[in-house]
Amino acid sequence: MPEDGSNLIAMHAANSPNAFDLRRVGAHPDHWYPMAWCDELKPGKALARAFAGQPIALFRGKGGKVFALEDRCAHRQVPLHLGVVDGDEVKCHYHGWAYDQTGKCVDVPYLGKERLPNGVKSYPAREIDGLIFVFPGDPALAEERLPTGLGHSQDKAYKTRRLNRHVACHYTFMHENLFDMNHQFMHRKQMGSIKAKCIGRTHGEDWAEVEYTFSRTSGKPSVGEQVIVDLVRKRGEKKADFSDHMRIRTDYPNQSLRVWVGRDIKESDAPVLDVWLGYTPLDAEQRTNRTYGYLSVKRPPVPGLIDAMWPFVTWFTENIFREDQEIVEYEQQAYDAQGADWNNEVFPAIRDLRAVLARCGLPMDGEPVAPSRTFAAE
Ligand code: FES
Ligand SMILES: [Fe+2]
């Protein structure tokens, strides 16, 4: 049996033409993952969630603070989310054992408090920009890795909608799908014939970035696309002068997509479109994920225009995301049928991205991977 993580990945890649099997690389637990919208969890209530097969219960104490515990009572292993929140403690539904926010057992009603058993695991939990994040890994690393903000989702100069989908695929397919704008062909019903031109790519140890500009090769934009273009086009700018610049970035483990429009774009310019996405693996094999995100569109100067157009924006983006969801789920089904990663990746930007995801992740059957382990692009 190979001993280190890189050997394990090599082993799983033996049946695949790729240097490593990316679908055997788990999302690294030493990061913050979104688990619920803040307003889904009312004071005194609980939610059942999961990270890669670990059941996690989220609670909001009566005082409003969110805490996360292993969703298994230390007594008879039943889910703690069925329990009763009492102040900032939770009482298990079955025999009423009580746990505090750190998972310590603080009461066994029929024994008294003298000889209390061990409690349950707790996880760092934090509310950031309307989402509840949990840190499933080493709690000592949690504070330094807190996300600083989720795009422009809290900026009043933007109108923002939530993205929230249960997707039946490994999280790495999500990263690849967003990063690779060469799949505009699939969105032809929504956008007609659009051609993406890659105008740059760059990457580091735990991030990768790719930039595109788009041109129409034939046909007309759909109503939804035209509405978005009209909303974001600079005032006075002629249609013929319209130019866009898209930057997609994976900052492990999250992703962003930003668009700037017009000529002479400066680095300091605010994007007209800003999408933030986080992918939380659900099952132990990580063949499903919950995608949480925000899509923010910069408000044009005409008051109320964006609100009037918003149903079209919603309809258009939902159609696009539905097409993306269908195709990544087909990719997962092909992986499951073949038992290995047979993808034949030819686009250098995606090869950069795959290397980042392999380097930053954790082999699913393996020992923890040494930070010095390096994966070059395939
Ligand atoms: S199973 Fe939870 S208190 Fe008994
Ligand atoms: Fe897409």
Judged by its nearest atom, the ligand closest to the C-alpha of residue 81 is 1
3-state secondary structure of 97: coil
- The top-scoring range by mean pLDDT among 220-234, 275-289, 336-350 is 275-289
Compute the average pLDDT of residues 278-303: 95
- How much is the pLDDT for 3? 39
375 vs 319 pLDDT, higher one: 319
Residue with CA nearest ligand 1 atom 1: 76
- How much is the pLDDT for 231? 73
> Which of 90, 92, 105, 116 has most ligand 1 atoms within 8 Å of its beta carbon, as the pocket-test mutant?
92
User: Is beta strand 105-107 parallel, antiparallel or unpaired with respect to 54-60?
Assistant: unpaired
237 vs 286 pLDDT, higher one: 286
CA of 77, closest atom in ligand 1:
1
Q: Please give the distance, rounded to the nearest whole angstrom, from the Cα atom of residue 67 to the centre of ligand 1.
A: 19
CA of 96, closest atom in ligand 1:
3
Q: Which residues line ligand 1 (CB under 6 A)?
A: 73, 75-76, 78, 92, 94-97
Q: Please give the distance, rounded to the nearest whole angstrom, from the Cα atom of residue 105 to the centre of ligand 1.
A: 11
Q: In Å, what is the CA distance from 242 to each residue of 4, 191, 232, 263, 364? A: 52, 16, 10, 8, 46
3-state secondary structure of 93: coil
What's the CA angle centered on 343, arms 338 and 346, to 5 degrees?
A: 165
CA of 74, closest atom in ligand 1:
2
- How much is the pLDDT for 193? 75
Judged by its nearest atom, the ligand closest to the C-alpha of residue 248 is 2
- The top-scoring range by mean pLDDT among 82-91, 107-116, 188-197, 338-347 is 82-91
Judged by its nearest atom, the ligand closest to the C-alpha of residue 109 is 1
Tens-place pLDDT, residues 26-54: 999 999 999 999 999 999 999 999 999 99
Q: Please give the distance, rounded to the nearest whole angstrom, from the Cα atom of residue 147 to the centre of ligand 2.
A: 25
pLDDT band at 371 (very low <50, low <70, confident <90, very high): very low
Residue 150, pLDDT above cutoff 80? yes
Distance in angstroms (rounded) separating the CA atoms of residues 221 and 223:
7
Q: Which residues surround ligand 2, an ion (CB under 5 A)?
A: 324
Judged by its nearest atom, the ligand closest to the C-alpha of residue 174 is 2
| Beta strand spans in the chain (E) | 25-26, 33-37, 46-51, 54-60, 66-70, 84-86, 89-91, 98-99, 105-107, 122-123, 125-128, 131-134, 158-167, 193-203, 207-218, 244-251, 254-261, 273-281, 289-298, 362-363
Tens-place pLDDT, residues 198-229: 999 999 999 999 999 988 776 676 666 777 77
Distance in angstroms (rounded) separating the CA atoms of residues 35 and 268:
32
What's the CA angle centered on 276, arms 21 and 341, to 5 degrees?
A: 10
Q: Which two tokens stand for residue 129?
A: 């920009």
> Which of 71, 72, 73 has most ligand 1 atoms within 8 Å of its beta carbon, as the pocket-test mutant?
73
| Beta strand spans in 269-358 (E) | 273-281, 289-298
- How much is the pLDDT for 214? 83
Q: Please give the distance, rounded to the nearest whole angstrom, from the Cα atom of residue 249 to the centre of ligand 2.
A: 15
- How much is the pLDDT for 114? 80
Residue 13, pLDDT above cutoff 90? no
Could you report how far apart the first and last alpha carbons of the chain are, in Å? 24
Instruction: Domains for the chain: give ranges and CATH numbers.
Output: 38-144 (2.102.10.10), 147-363 (3.90.380.10)
Q: Please give the distance, rounded to the nearest whole angstrom, from the Cα atom of residue 48 to the centre of ligand 1.
A: 17
> Which of 69, 89, 95, 99 has most ligand 1 atoms within 8 Å of its beta carbon, as the pocket-test mutant?
95
| 86 strand-pairing partners | 89
By CB atoms closer than 10 A (0-12, 13-18, 19+), residue 336 is middle
- Verdict on whether the full-model pTM lies above 0.85: yes
